[in-house]
Amino acid sequence: MVTVSMGFLVDSSANHLFVTAFFLAGIGMFQTAVLANGRYNKDYLRYTKSFCMTQAVLFALGSIFALLMSGIPILVIVIGTVMTVMIGIHLMRFYMIQARKNGKQNWHLI
């Protein structure tokens, strides 16, 4: 969904609001799947409610800005990229804090 919608974002004849919504739906479905499957993580890496809420807020804010700027395709892609990077940084920060807290650091594997 994401790659298809990115192709249509640069098409001048496409409905940019629909394409932006389709783009965000693809990112949202992926993020929902990641959070839903968090229950299969190790005990110390299970997502807390505050973590899930922060992820949802980051996605919601990025979505609002992207929808407001749907007429400018390059800005939609930049906003989507920044939103995804922020969500990823938040995920890595959660992992590092939980691993450090539980003494499960495997930094030598990186």
Task: Convert the pLDDT of each residue in 31-62 to its tens digit.
Answer: 999 999 988 988 888 999 999 999 999 999 99
Summarize the confidence of residues 19-25 as an average pLDDT.
94
| pLDDT of amino acid 109 | 56
Identify the band that residue 30 occupies on the pLDDT scale cut at 50, 70 and 90: very high
The pLDDT > 90 percentage for the chain reads 62
Say which residues have a Cβ less than 8 Å from residue 13's Cβ, sequence separation at least 6.
none
| pTM for this entry | 0.85
Distance CA 91, CA 101 (A): 15
Q: Is the pLDDT score of 12 beyond 60?
A: yes
